[in-house]
Chain A
Amino acid sequence: MLARRRWRFAILALLPVFLIFAYVRIYPIADTLRLSLFKWDLLSKNKPFIGLANFRELFGDRLFQDALFNTTVIAFGVLVITVPLAMVLAALINYRTRSRLAGFYESAIFIPHVVSLVPAAMAWKWIFDARLGPLNAFLSWFGVPAQAWLFDPFWSVVCIIVLCSWQALGYAVLIYLVGFKNLPVSVYEAATLDGANEVQKFWRLSVPLLKPITLYVSVVTLVSGFNVYAQAFVLASDAQGAPGRQVRVLVLDMLENSFRNYRFGYAASEAVILLIIVLVLTLLQFGLLRERATR
């Protein structure tokens, strides 16, 4: 009787949340998968099932290839900068955890992660600006000629990587700090007795012991790298309204196919590619974690 009432409460309480969740998550996810198999153009009357034709077209599409390439370079670029740097910074902050400045370190590195994307991107856009930007002015001290960073096909991608890394770093450092605080003290004491110095302890103990954290941070960084959009949007348009060189990224290409070309089925197939990338990365993480655990 009591048990039955409890079960009823659980179901009744959970039901509304589940219905909302189903409506705003499960249904649109399923709909993305469905749309990707249809020729679903807003302007045409019939929207026939075309199987995998969208995907076939996608892989011959220059713009999509561009977007996929740029996005991949950005995601891995951010990863390569962020993760090692975050680990070293976290080690240093952890070492100086008793310092009066520890709070300042944490906040200063973390603030770029929490502030709104667009204003922060605007600050960087000014830094990279060809005529007014401090970067060119700074480099001119060393005799480096002024560059139109945001207009160069190579440098504009680098600029986005720098901006994204600047933002991603705070999160990674924070997670590493939690990791460092949870490391077993006894192992380090033993290493100290054996005469290991701090650098050796970092390489031989911290790096291997923190591997699960490194794996997690790497996947999170990569996944958010693959979703890059606002950064590219802001940096790509020139401050004076001149058409900037657009760095095509996946989400941008997707939105353009939907809201400029009205090809929603085609855009959905791009979304499915994004989904597959994220799933593969996540499975990879779990796979590597399990491999460690069984060894």
Chain B
Amino acid sequence: MTGKPATVDQPLPRPRKRAVDWLIDAILVAFCVLMILPLVFLVANAFKTPQEMLAWPPTIIPSDPTLDNFTAVLGDTPLLRWIGNSLLFAVFSTIAILATSAIAGYVLGKFRYRTTNVIFAIFLATAIIPFEVYMIPLYFQAQSLGILNSTWGLLLGYLVMSFGIFLIRQNVIHAIPDELLEAARMDGAGEMLIFFRIVLPLLRGALGALAVLAFFQAWTAFAWPMIVATTRESYTIEVGLALFQTGFTVDLGRLSAAAALVLVPSITLFALLRRNFVQGIAATGIKE
């Protein structure tokens, strides 16, 4: 926290400045509450009886909390299985993205040859193309590999992440001095040893941020799982929920319960990893 340009040498007299600060805080608090209110209501609805659901104004803390909605939804749908599918997909995808990004980012950052530069240019050029553009051919590739309706099929679309490669490359360039690598080479260390013993530990922070991004990217993926996982057993939680909520007999309580079961873990995870997250997302906006 170095620069706070706007607050340097306040010209306002003290009481007035306090009033302004207070006003800004009030506006921000009101806005933030509005932002999270839909999610708060959703979780609250999950615990409500059908009667209370209709009450106006809607209550935030259910007066007569019940777990019926949860037991009903868990009986109706293989929700836990869907969560398991998503979890497996997200974990594998994170591992794959960390591995590919760490290797490619390191090589592209520290080994500048014509070949590697060309490859970097290719990564860069394809980075902006949205997944939706090429997912149909990719679907046929998954089909010909015989991995539709499986974690592997889901994974096919989420093995690499261009931004991950750039993020690690950026970090390698800024955080790992050439002298350090040269010194290790002088001491006779092989390239593999250098990568695993020196480079990877130094990239821990960047890899942590990337891991959080990659995990949430897969966890919240929608269009790709929608076309690749089309059997009830292979749905991810997002797809399962989206299709479940179109059902004829589904009431709001059960929908909210299902949604809450998905939201609460991801919000908890976010709260725990907030620093990593913010760091990673912020890095997406930093341009060379």
Contact = CB atoms under 8 A, between A and B. Distances in A.
B46 to A, nearest CB: 10
A108 interface: yes
B115 interface: yes
A218 interface: no
Interface in B273-287: 274, 277-278, 281-282, 284-287
Contacts of B107: 10, 13-14
B238 A117 contact: yes
Contacts of B33: 108
B8 interface: yes
A149 interface: no
Contacts of A27: 137, 141
Contacts of A124: 38
B259 A197 contact: no
Nearest to A106: B278
Contact of B8 (A13, A91, A169, A189): A189
B41 interface: yes
A108 B8 contact: no
A7 B137 CA distance: 34
A11 B21 CA distance: 57
Contacts, number: 310
A28 B24 contact: no
B173 interface: no
B256 A116 contact: no
A192 B135 CA distance: 53
A240 B8 CA distance: 56
A94 B28 CA distance: 11
B242 to A, nearest CB: 5
B191 A110 contact: no
A181 interface: yes
User: Per DSSP, are chain B's interface residues mostly helix, strand or loop, or mixed?
Assistant: helix
Given A105-B28, A108-B33, A94 B128 contact: no
B104 A223 contact: no
Given A114-B266, A258-B136, A275-B133, A188 B242 contact: no
Q: Which of B27, B129, B250, B271 has the most CB of A within 10 A?
A: B129
A27 B141 CA distance: 10
A279 B126 CA distance: 10
B7 A24 contact: no
A49 B57 CA distance: 61
Given A10-B113, A278-B129, A111 B134 contact: no
Nearest to A268: B136
A259 B227 contact: yes
A17 B100 contact: yes
Range of interface residues on chain B?
35 or more
User: Per DSSP, are chain A's interface residues mostly helix, strand or loop, or mixed?
Assistant: helix
Interface in A170-218: 171, 174-175, 177-185, 187-189, 192-193, 195, 197-198, 201, 212-213, 216-217
B180 interface: no
Nearest to A32: B134
Contact of A117 (B28, B222, B286): B222
A112 B39 contact: yes
A264 B136 contact: yes
B219 A116 contact: yes
Contact of A271 (B104, B133, B255, B267): B133
Given A101-B28, A239-B255, A24 B5 contact: no
Nearest to B134: A28
Given A14-B103, A101-B29, A123-B39, A32 B133 contact: yes
Contact of B38 (A31, A127, A237): A127
A93 B271 CA distance: 19
A69 interface: no
Given A98-B7, A107-B274, A108-B36, A24 B138 contact: yes
12 contacts: A10-B113, A92-B24, A96-B28, A101-B28, A107-B270, A107-B274, A119-B42, A166-B35, A175-B285, A213-B285, A272-B133, A279-B128
Given A25-B129, A27-B141, A227-B130, 13 more contacts: A9-B192, A13-B103, A20-B100, A20-B160, A95-B24, A117-B222, A118-B245, A175-B284, A177-B282, A185-B3, A201-B6, A223-B128, A241-B246
Interface of A: 2, 5-7, 9-11, 13-14, 16-18, 20-21, 23-29, 31-32, 35, 89, 91-99, 101, 104-112, 114-120, 122-127, 132, 134, 137, 166, 169, 171, 174-175, 177-185, 187-189, 192-193, 195, 197-198, 201, 212-213, 216-217, 223, 226-227, 229-230, 233-234, 237, 239-241, 251, 254-255, 258-259, 264, 267-268, 271-272, 274-275, 278-279, 282
